[in-house]
Amino acid sequence: MERVDYLSDERKRAQFDVDAMKYVWAGSRHAFEVSDRISKLVASDPAFRKDDRTMLPRKELFKNTIRKATYAWKRIIELRLSEEEAAKLRFYVDEPAFTDLHWGMFIPAIKGQGTDEQHQKWLPFAYKMQIIGCYAQTELGHGSNVQGLETTATFNPKTDEFILHSPTLTSSKWWPGGLGKVSTHAVVYARLITDGKDHGVHGFIVQLRNLEDHTPLPGITLGDIGTKFGNGAYNTMDNGVLRFDHVRIPRDQMLMRVSQVTREGKYKQSDVPRQLVYGTMVYVRQTIVADASCALSRAVCIATRYSAVRRQFGSQNGGPENQVINYKTQQSRLFPLLASAYAFRFVGEWLKWLYTDVTQKLQANDFSTLPEVHACTAGLKSLTTSVTADGIEECRKLCGGHGYLCSSGLPELFTVYVPACTYEGDNIVLLLQVARFLMKTASQLGTGRQPVGTIAYMGRIERLMQCCSDVQNAEDWLKPSVVLEAFEARAARMSVACARNLSKFANPEEGFAELSADLVEAAIAHCQLIVVSKFIEKLQQDIPGKGVKKQLEMLCSVYYLFLLHKHQGDFIATSCITPKQASLANDQLRALYSQVRPNAIALVDAFNYTDHFLGSILGRYDGNVYPKLYEAAWKDPLNESDIPDGYHKYIRPLLKQQLRAARL
């Protein structure tokens, strides 16, 4: 039967080369070809079926996940996939599993913090998955405050061993993915104690389970922490609890690239600079930002396609009703999220470059940009994950009542994504770290130290404190120089205002706590400036393909004008723009929505997501939504019989009871 494309007319309206845009989204033609091939490989394999995931009981769901993960590894070996291809395959399987932490945290931790000898000993086993690892840092009582971790690793010079111990209930490791039921090993973070002295938190490679029968080793208590938010979603992952009861490990299982304990029990720093561990942090955070663009683009793809399929009101003379996507209220909520998906994609690309750059500098013992890089990556992790989590939920609302169905794909996408707002750093805590950096930068202005990188605009503080936008008409807001100056002035003035208020406190820490809400807002302004500037920089590159650059310019304008409209209170209060100029910006934004409209479907098609990966009836490529929704309803286990379990015991007696008049 020939497949009918209900969105074909929408696709014919595209004013640009969609294939060329796919290459831009993927990063290159090569990256697109790899992604396209692997996504289709996964979609065509029934072993990776996931449409029943939200209906499975937890134990069956978890068993199904470990089946898929091991089958995926089998296919990687059989097809001799490269590291890039293998990562794409795991991505398109689209199911949180123990392999995520093994490849994403365990191996990078050993590579970043282990010595060459430790690399040679552990990485061959890890790369072949002959051991399976996780990353055990967070505890029941401490997450963001890593220095407050309570697990101890006490060195015993008599036996040349560390003794790992969980001295309190709150010292239990809590949340590590893969820990609960699968991982055989972990990189465990504990307080290093030698000769009674606490040297702070360090990493240790610890075997958790017997490699023959998978039972926990003596002194180790392991388990899953329980069911989490949502159907399916992150319940495929065995987030675990871990306790140590005086567990001994050899001294050489401490990760010793940066600091070491000698055979005699002496603690010393190695010749390798401690700052090198920041490379791993930058890598992890750039991955999180890239994941944000993927998750947000999925939600936007579903909401955009369904908004073009769904019709409500506006019928003329018995004709079809109006497409929901034509309403300005829908466009004003949806199109900024579409623009944000592209913006996060490009800032994610830039972060990949930054990771390479900072790695090279660290290896050359150049640590000059580290504070700025730390603040930048912390802020972008916070900004992109918060916007994405909120954006997925907004897309669910944009799909109306049907968006609440699990078959829409949006409830599970939200529940599987939202932990990103707290793991690898709570988002508010991260913004406060950015704010500390901004306050330090502001305090050093005028000392001769020139701000660098994403904070370079602070070096022009005198001009930015005095300038005022010269926008005269709505079209002026399409000029990148005008926009950048407004965003730089806003960020600079908010930081300076916080610094001035902070200086009024005798105790800086008390002031920081009191002004923390204002400091978070200043950090957000700084991070939004970074994303806007990187989007504009992307547009200065040579971008091939008919009409592609014009579409990206349009999306860039939607992104920054939406932010300007949303935060116009900041821009006006800091005298960066006038109320009249804010109104002109909104006029231009509204006009841009009309220009995005004919290209909306093609812009989400450029993400090149298969129906399998989207996992959404509402977001189907062919737009054949209603018959498929009806068909899916009958697959629910509740519809296996007309008479539900419990009818004869509960409902029938209720219906057959002898009713008596109530006495009120």
Catalytic residues: 424
Query: Which of 568, 569, 543, 570 shows the shortest CA–CA distance to 555?
Result: 543
Q: Using DSSP, how many helices (H) and how many strands (E) does the chain show?
A: 24, 11
SS3 content of the chain, % helix, strand, coil (to 5): 60, 10, 30
Per-residue exposure over 454-479, b if at least 16 CB sit within 10 Å of its own CB, e if not = bbebbbebeebeebebebeebebbbe
Query: Which of 247, 276, 277 shows the shortest CA–CA distance to 173?
Result: 247
Residue 96 CA to residue 182 CA, distance in Å, equals 13
Whole-Å CA distances, 107 to 6, 21, 51, 397, 579: 46, 34, 31, 39, 53
Type of residue found at 628: K
H/E run at residue 283: helix 278-309
| 3 state SS of 212 | coil
- Retrieve residue 614's tokens: 């989207």
Locus of tokens 């298969």: 610
Bridge-based pairing state of the strands 173-174 and 259-261? unpaired
Backbone angles phi, psi at 194, to 5 degrees: -130, 130
Question: How far is Cα of residue 646 from the mean position of the Cα atoms in its chain?
Answer: 43
Assess contact for 621 and 611: CB atoms under 8 A.
Answer: yes
Residue 613 CA to residue 41 CA, distance in Å, equals 11
Residue 379 CA to residue 322 CA, distance in Å, equals 41
Q: For residue 23, what are the contacts with CB-CB under 8 A and spacing of at least 6?
A: 29, 31, 32, 544, 545
Query: Which of 8, 230, 42, 75 shows the shortest CA–CA distance to 609?
Result: 42
- Retrieve residue 360's tokens: 């090279």
Assess contact for 16 and 550: CB atoms under 8 A.
Answer: yes
Assess contact for 376 and 530: CB atoms under 8 A.
Answer: yes
Type of residue found at 379: G
Query: Which of 36, 15, 27 shows the shortest CA–CA distance to 555?
Result: 15
Residue 649 CA to residue 651 CA, distance in Å, equals 7
